[in-house]
Chains A and B, each alone.
Chain A
């Protein structure tokens, strides 16, 4: 750093004989003074301004503390312009307290702190050639003395030990949680239609659990095939979540945490369309009931729940990353990052005309994972 007044004849650095500059260095213009530099009254005023700004900040901080204890969040939530008094007071006072400190510092720097011009010259970033050669020489001698080139046993064992140190980091990753295993391959839809041995009056008895009915989400009632009109979309859940006894499932199995886990896998989209619009997939010819199709509600990209459907096109759009699935065509991906079609649930009607699942989903629902059996996804490619 040199002062502004003696930098006129500096021609650079490095001693490599910089060429003569074609245009003479004009140097910096003469320094002009600020009013606060030459006028003591002005300086005094600036000082008071800065102090006043710091003072205002202090006032705001105190007001913040006062309003924190004065205003209640719950009761007066629409006092100031429809917004809570507490919210406005806390936000405004703390914001202004910080703002006044900032403004005061800038005012201080601009009006009162020294403001003479400074020149800082640019030098080459590299060390001088001589230093570099010396360092390389020292390094070479060091390597020579370790004998690493002559003693492969030491070199290799050292490399092996250091390399192996990466392993604990990888092993610790295992602590991030359980592996998915086959958990996503089974959903609670599979609880319907299974055979079960129960003990009744001391005698063992085999019962066939009724096929899982499809219920309206949030409402909980099972759906008759005749309930739906063309164009209807139903957000559905397996009936076991609302009526576990019918399926021989313990009520606490479909409560609290368990309920959420089941919903995250079993949520269903039910759509009734004109049967003529459907292009059934190979082997899926009998998976719909008079134009009613059922698909997993969980996006195969990263697992967002989707029910953003366009009735006119049967395209179901995921709001997270815009993956779009064609529900008239086996849930084929028509747009977006999803890699696989939406899993379809084969459905039929039971004796009373209620919609039931023929079986569980035939493939894992939701996003891809390491252990997934991708051979099963061959379906849908090319047809």
Chain B
């Protein structure tokens, strides 16, 4: 202990020396570099695997996507000039991760909108496809969990985020996705999907990339922190008390009207039929009555 103190003391004598700053700087650089080398994945390997990933992704792309999106992701136009499959040159990895990761792509049939369905590709394949499409041009990359996962927030932060997220949600999302995120109808057969119970990553990516008819909410539009706040708010929606009883899917007048007409008025019709029905009769006659 004394030895340690003594050497520390000796070192301390040099702390105001002319080269002390330089030494500290060098040591800092050395440490950062060393730590990085120790913990970061090996650079050479990573480039190699990135190239490999892109190559693998291209193979998958040619088989599964090129028919509509073109062999180099340049998009395909119909003879009428409409888009058969849009160009993927600047959509980024996030768009692929969202579309393929939620099963929207590959589309089963052409239509107004690609619906959410069973996922066809494995996670590795999705990563490869994302890497390939990202290599075609610009566009947002797949976000880190740090950006979207509300579980990374402390309890006090969480409440603050939920409050803020609720306001942003009301201003920006409710028009299409309904006041409780239950989704709604859009023009020409489209639909704004239900966004409750969706993996936070996909909500983040959807905001970032604006899938299909949805507007983009890029980081310049709604900053990442605020996106996370919206996700935190959505996270709490399912736990909100419904004092009014059954929510009927939180779809507003659509499901409420349906129930009122079918069950309410249907029940009334049933009672009316019962009221007007004939009562049981007997072949016996009342004693002394004239039949």
Q: How far is the CA of A102 from the CA of B268 in the complex (A)?
A: 12
Whether the Cβ atoms of B245 and A83 lie closer than 8 Å is yes
Cβ contacts under 8 Å, B245 to chain A: 83-84, 87-88, 91
Asked if B152 is an interface residue, CB under 8 A from chain A, the answer is: no
CB pair B226 A33 closer than 8 Å: no
Answer whether A33 and B281 are a contact pair too, CB < 8 Å, given A219-B226, A231-B216.
yes
Residues of A within 8 A of B (CB-CB), count: 55
* Chain A minimum-CB-distance residue to B277: A110
- B279 and A229 within 8 A (CB): no
- Among the listed stretches A18-26, A131-139, A162-170, A303-311, which one makes contact with chain B, having 4 or more residues with CB under 8 Å of it? A303-311
Chain B contact residue count (CB 8 A cutoff) = 46
**B220 interface hit (Cβ, 8 Å):** yes
**Which of B171, B216, B217 is within 8 Å of A217, CB to CB?**
B171
CA distance A225 to B213 in the complex (A): 23
B185's nearest neighbour on chain A, judged by CB, is A319
B167 touches A218 (CB 8 A): yes
Decide yes or no whether B283 CB sits under 8 A from chain A: yes
Is A235 part of the contact surface with B, judged by Cβ < 8 Å? yes
Q: Are A84 and B223 in contact (CB under 8 A)?
A: no
Tell me, rounded to whole Å, the shortest Cβ–Cβ distance linking B51 to chain A.
28
A34–B172 touching, CB < 8 Å: no
Contacts of B72 in A (CB 8 A): none
In chain B between 257 and 291, which residues have their CB closer than 8 angstroms to a CB of chain A? 271, 274-275, 279-287, 289-291
Given known A31-B291, A219-B223, A235-B172, contact A311–B215 (CB-CB < 8 A): yes
* 8 A Cβ contacts from B226-269 to A: 226, 241-246
Contacts A83-B242, A227-B220; is A110 near B186 (CB within 8 Å)?
Answer: no
Tell me, in angstroms, the Cα distance from A230 to B190 when the chains sit together.
21
Residues in A whose Cβ lies below 8 Å from that of B223:
219, 221
Q: Between A and B, how many residue pairs show CB distances below 8 Å?
A: 125
Alpha-carbon gap, A138 to B233, bound state (A): 79
Contact between A227 and B279, CB atoms less than 8 A apart: no
Tell me whether A30 is interfacial, beta carbon within 8 Å: yes
Chain A residues with CB under 8 A of B217: 232-233
Contact A232 B221 (CB under 8 A): yes
A227 proximity list for chain B (CB < 8 A): 218, 220-221
User: A residues within 8 A CB of B214?
Assistant: 311
- Is the Cβ of A233 less than 8 Å from the Cβ of B216? yes
For A237, give the chain B residue with the smallest CB separation: B171
> A111 and B243: CB pair below 8 A?
no
Whether the pair A87, B281 counts as a contact (CB closer than 8 A) is: no
Residues in A309-363 with C-beta less than 8 Å from chain B: 309-313, 315, 317, 319, 324
Q: Which residues of B contact A310 (CB under 8 A)?
A: 186-187, 190, 213
Determine if A218 and B171 form an interchain contact, defined as CB atoms under 8 angstroms apart.
yes
User: CB distance A306 to B175 under 8 Å?
Assistant: yes
In contact, B243 and A84 (Cβ under 8 angstroms): yes
Residues of chain B lying within 8 A (CB to CB) of residue A217: 171-172
- B287 proximity list for chain A (CB < 8 A): 38
Using A218-B170, A306-B175, A312-B213 as known contacts, say yes or no to A224 and B220 having CB atoms under 8 A apart. Answer: yes
What's the Cα separation between A234 and B275 when bound, in Å?
A: 58
**How far is B246's CA from A77's CA once the two chains are assembled, in angstroms?**
11
Name A205-241 residues within 8 Å CB distance of B. Answer: 216-219, 221, 223-224, 226-235
Instruction: Please tell me if A59 contacts chain B, counting CB pairs below 8 Å.
Output: no
Is A35 within 8 A of B280, CB to CB?
yes
Q: List 20 A-B contacts (CB under 8 A).
A: A33-B284, A34-B280, A38-B285, A39-B282, A73-B243, A77-B243, A84-B245, A106-B274, A218-B167, A219-B222, A227-B220, A231-B215, A232-B217, A232-B218, A234-B221, A305-B175, A309-B215, A312-B212, A317-B186, A317-B187
